[in-house]
Structure 1
Amino acid sequence: MGVWSNLCSVVSSACSVISSVASSIGNSVVKSATSIVSLGVSLAAKVTDAIRSVGVSLGIIRPEDSLEELGEKAILSEKKPEDFDSINEYIDHLNNNVPFDKDKFDRLDDKELLARSSIGASITLKGINEKLDTVVTPEFMATVASQELETKEIVSTIKAYKENDLKLEDYDLYLNDELTLDETTKHSSALVEAYQKLEPELSIEEIENKVMGLSN
């Protein structure tokens, strides 16, 4: 009970930290960051890692970038994402023009670090959406992070859904068999297409079995 209570306290406190800096980071980042934190400490960490990996693979952030530090710089910056033509320009601004106190940063506690990593992940997610011209939600990232999909599988799934005019928010419904037969077929076809591009050496039967296994 004590551990559970402490985890809930960290999540609640991190949400409060994010709300308190809304004027610095903008409402869209606040909403997404709060959604990430609300997943809980363990899943939020997986989602943040997944977003970071996708962000690096698409060139949104650099391999050496820390999402916690990105979040800290966003809090300290006088400019928000809306002040720039692209998220990449905003991230460049944070990296090049916003200094921060490393000693002070190193003394931050768990709730403050959770808030900052979620803010950094939210900013990166905005960059991913901008780059792929789609709407990837924290909830979708939570699903694929829980599945432990590889970065290339996540990106291919996002692209396949966009190319087939499918909503990523329905991916979880597909996995839980909560769509109509017609919709389920559309999702299956899109995913088979995605995995065929990823693993062209596999037979269609092997690909179909792999896609069927996603919902297990």
Structure 2
Amino acid sequence: MGLFSVISAVSSALGSPAVGGVIATGISWLLGSPATIVSEIAKTLDIFKENDRPEHLGQAMEQMDKKPEDFDSINEYIDYLREGIKSGEVKLIRNLSDSEKTSYTYDVTALGIKAIDEKYQLQTSAEFWGTMGGKFQEGKITPDEINKILEISSKNSVSAENVVNYINGNGMTGGQRASGVADVIEDGLIAANPNMSDEEIRSRFNKLLGK
């Protein structure tokens, strides 16, 4: 099924096991703050719409016949899911248990991550979203700032891995320079906060790094 293909691919990329929409051990990091961030970024990029409901899209992923690989983009696949819901082809179960809602939230969040990666031609990871989720929860970064950092990372060929490496105080990989990664993060903060002064941006940058 399309669900299995997407979740297996995303979970493999993120280093987290999942099968057929069932949440597996060790992937609870994707829920809570990371799910909120992914949802907000996906809405900004017009991947998800304001009236999209994870439990509806998740059920469509289970019931519709076509797979993500049948489409040129994840956005087209999501449009296909929406059409299945709108036409009534997807038989929605309204009274879902909490565990079912959680499972669908995971499925759709994973789908959103894959669409964001596709948009920016980046490969994000469990560590990236987990770190950003923690920083968001602490009030040190917003979804818009994360989105701008991803956008500028893509334009400057800086990996998402090195963005999170820099934030966590780890070494760079792939020959990228720490100074270049720092510039990308700072430029992302500036792009998301055009009215902030240089001093305010520097303060926000330092808080993000825990300084």
Q: The TM-score by the shorter chain falls in which range?
A: 0.7 to 0.9
> Normalised by the size of structure 2, how large is the TM-score?
0.78
2:101 match: 113
| Equivalent-residue separation in structure 2 for 1:24 and 1:151 (angstroms) | 28
Measured against aligned partners, the alpha-carbon deviations of 1:97-139 in whole angstroms (never above 9, x if no partner) come to 253333x342x33332222111111222222222223223343
Q: What CA distance in whole angstroms lies between the structure 2 residues aligned with 1:199 and 1:46?
A: 21
Tell me the residue number matched to 1:163: 155
Give secondary structure in 2 for the equivalent of 1:147: helix
Contact 2:190 2:196 in 1 (8 A): yes
SS in 2 for 1:59: coil
Cα deviation, 1:131-173, whole Å, max 9, x if unaligned, reads: 2232233432222121112221011110122222211122232
Structure that is richer in helix per residue: 1
Matched AA of 1:187: V
- Matches of 1:83 and 1:200 in 2, distance apart? 40
Structure 1 residues 143 and 90, CA gap change in structure 2 (3 angstroms): same
Letter of the 1:59 counterpart = D
1:70 corresponds to 2:65: no
Give the structure 1 partner of residue 77 of structure 2.
Answer: 90
Aligned residue in 1 for 2:122: 134
Q: 2:42 aligns with which of 55, 69, 85?
A: 55
Cα deviation 1:17-56 (Å, max 9, x = unaligned): xxxxxx3424343343583953327x51222221111111
Q: Which structure 2 residues correspond to residues 1-216 of structure 1 after superposition, within 5 A?
A: 23-32=1-10, 35=16, 37=23, 38-40=26-28, 44-98=31-85, 99-102=89-92, 104-106=93-95, 108-148=96-136, 149-179=141-171, 183-216=177-210
Shift of 1:78: 0.9
Structure 1, unaligned runs of 5 or more: 1-22
Identity of aligned residues (%): 24
One-letter amino acid matched to 2:150: I
Q: TM-score, normalised by structure 1?
A: 0.76
Measure, in 1, the Cα distance between the counterparts of 2:37 and 2:194.
Answer: 24
